[in-house]
Chains A and B, each alone.
Chain A
Amino acid sequence: MGRTVPTITQTLNETEALLQRFRRTLRRGDQILLDDLLASAHRHIAAIAETQALLPFEGALLAILLEQARRLAQLEQRLSDLEQAWSAHEPREP
């Protein structure tokens, strides 16, 4: 509702605005990575709100970590699938 208290989306947007000078100092490639990281926090707005924390950016950092862990798990799964496919086609020693 955000009647008196700003919503989590508003809080994250304000935090991102505060980070603009930090972002500006980064190299172009790093800026894109930072944008992706911050965007990934927005996928978990509801969960961040549920923490009822005074500093919701802590929850946002956790959400960013969660997204990183998910991508890592997806990559590990992909690597494992590729390894299995590779070992199936690898010529065996006589």
Chain B
Amino acid sequence: MNHASREHLGWLLDVYLRPDGTLVGWLLNDDGQHHLLAWDFPVTIYLEGSPTHLRQVWRTLTDPNLHKARVVRQDIYGHSHTLLALTAPSPGQAQALYHHLQRTFPHLDAYDADLPLGVQVMVRTGVPLLGRCRFRHDGQHLLEINSLASPWDLDPPLPPLRLLRLYPDRDPTLAPPQVLHLEFATYHYRLPLRPLRPFLINLQAIWARCDPDLILSDHGDAWFFPFLQQAAPQFNPNRDPTLGVQFRRERTLFAYGQVLYRAPQAHLCGRWHIDRRNAVLFSEIGLDGVFELARVTGLGVQDAARKSPGAGITALQMQTALRERILVPVAKPEAETPRTLPHLIAHDRGGLIYQPLLGVHTQVAEIDFTSMYPAIMVNANISPETLGHPDAPPGLIPRTLQPLLHKRLALKRWLQSLPPQDCRVPTLRARQTALKWLLVVCFGYLGYKNARFGRVESHEAVTARSRELLLQAKALAEDLGFTVLHMYVDSLFVHHPDAHTPDALTPLLEAIERQTGIPVALEGIYRWLVFPPARRHPSLAVANRYFGVFTDGRIKARGIALRRHDTPPFVAQTQAALLHLLAQAEHPTQRVADAWDWVAQQIARLQRHEVDVADLRMAVKLSRSPSAYRHPGPAAWAAWQLEAQGTAPRPGMRLGFWFTRQGIRVTPPAPDEVDYDRYARLVWRAAAEILEPLTPLPPNRQPRLPLLGRRSPIQCAQVAPSACKALTSC
């Protein structure tokens, strides 16, 4: 051992690149000291093409630090490829080399050229990000690192992190903030932004005192860090002094049939920055879920928070491929094979959706297949390379998914064994939800046109198998005397007049599990469940649109106003309160009269201007650029107004606005300017969505305002926004 070197136990928190291309490991030892250590980490990329082109590349590259070799490697299908292997001394140099060759020799195919740093580190050293490790260093360089953890550990210890919360006093997209709030441990600092000099002095003092590892912000990406760079370019919020804030550009993309907007990003080095408002799924999985994603996928914490779960599942597939020395293509290597129309009609289909039976139902059991699609991929060995080979060994996709599936099931079982008030429940729930999202998207990525290891036929094989399994489950339920009310991809809603308890459902659950080989779980038994009518025809119900109350009092709703993002909080809270009111009754029709009165009271509150203007804010997504609207709706008017104010709305952005008597307004109006009649109509429509299936509407389709005052006011709990949110995520 080198005498100058020191050894520590600790955590590997992150890896990043310095401008010279060197890899840096950010490590925290058990004494609480942070180390930013240069890491000797050579990286190999592979090129394939005609011998002439490869010979040209060989001759062009004369850097003595670059190692060149001719190698033979296999792809996912087991085909051998003769390749030019180029080993650069650092990941940064390998990246620069790849980009140079891409421009100079665009006809060459590249492999292993764009792997995330965390993935490469994880595969080569076995140390997961946020994982325990033993490391040796000389103060500047990381000399050795050994893993003491696995990404599949069920209860990994978390490093002690210093967390700083940071948020402005108002939404910067609506008005310039005046004050910055900073929260660290039990301290709360309130810094006025003007005058600038004292603000910056105070900020630097707090930054130095807190020395945060993680900055959790609101509007940090789009507002705070750009503002800070402009106001104080000399102030470096990083722990690594050799690097400034790493800004990434905003972008708009089209995915899952939606236009999505990703705001610009501000990444730090030697610290983490997460903007809660620009982090995918953060409201659902929180920090615990983000850490779980980083630990399992190898994406850094800042990327894991901001990227979609699709990037996570791709990283996991890359890990499997790298470990097994399978080539990872930069672009999808092959196009879809041509097929006949009858073949497409037979196979190009999704999950089975069985139209619900309209109306109010009692004693309904909801049965869900647990992680149905990933379980099908693992059980039936569905992977691009195993299609058409029933006896093939497990493919790359099942090998990737198996540990993920096992970990999620183990976390779920652990959760079920804990009482609801146990302090570990929120953390475990967040972690298993994060893994759930990885499993959810892994199916979609089989058919995604840009997926590295995707093939649409394997995607179709999964849906075909799922339809078959759901039909088998339906037949079993009917054999046992159940009526199947609704089926939706991986869940069944069944009714039996005698099935009041979970025990009564056990024979059915066991029969389904035995027959299909996939675990099923009883989501619950509804005391009552309503499938409301479709707008297009009153005799039709709509798939996956329902609301009901479980026997334990939980409320579940899908497809109604409170689940939609564009519904103003006041309308969503009114609808949620209505559901809570109906949930008190054994049968929902028993409280319908009270419910109508509650609606009347809410409308009367609106008419008396008693509702907070903030609770009336609409939020719609801009589906195209403002100039592309030919028949402008509220979103277009809001966008044009923002443009006039100097803000450039981008497609995919969610715009907030209010209905006022003068039209759409993007800034909060005064209470007497609000168009309360418009909001009353929204409340009425949301109430009718719930109450119409339970009772005919009043003949003139007007709110029963005359009832107001006839009876004593209905004691209906005001639903707090948090409760409303909990209901939507039920």
CB within 8 Å of B: which residues of A?
A: 1-5, 7, 35-36, 39-40, 42-46, 49-50, 52-54
Contact = CB atoms under 8 A, between A and B. Distances in A.
7 contacts: A1-B348, A1-B351, A2-B349, A5-B349, A36-B537, A46-B354, A54-B342
Contacts of B355: 42-46
Interface residues of B, number: 24
A45 B351 CA distance: 12
B348 A39 contact: no
B348 A2 contact: yes
B354 A4 contact: no
A54 B346 CA distance: 9
B353 A46 contact: yes
B348 A4 contact: yes
A27 B459 CA distance: 48
Given A3-B447, A39-B539, A42-B540, A49 B342 contact: no
Nearest to B348: A5
Contacts of B539: 36, 39-40
A10 B1 CA distance: 71
Contact of A5 (B344, B354, B447, B463): B344
Contact of B341 (A3, A49, A50, A54): A54
B350 interface: yes
Interface of B: 341-342, 344-346, 348-355, 447, 456, 459-460, 463, 467, 487, 536-537, 539-540
B350 A2 contact: yes
B447 A52 contact: no
Contacts of B341: 54
Contacts of B537: 35-36, 39, 42
Given A2-B349, A46-B353, A50-B467, 17 more contacts: A1-B348, A1-B350, A1-B351, A1-B447, A2-B350, A5-B344, A5-B345, A5-B348, A35-B537, A36-B537, A39-B536, A45-B355, A46-B354, A49-B349, A52-B342, A52-B345, A54-B345
A9 B587 CA distance: 33
Contact of A3 (B354, B456, B540): B456
Residue from A2, A39, A40, A44 whose CB has the most chain B CB atoms within 10 Å: A39
Given A36-B539, A43-B540, A1 B463 contact: yes
A86 B354 CA distance: 39
Contacts of B346: 52
A59 B614 CA distance: 51
A46 B352 contact: yes
Contacts of B487: 46
A3 B347 CA distance: 10
A1 B349 contact: yes
Contacts of A46: 352-355, 487
Contacts of A49: 349
Nearest to A52: B346
A50 B346 CA distance: 8
A52 B344 CA distance: 9
A94 B249 CA distance: 98
B177 to A, nearest CB: 45
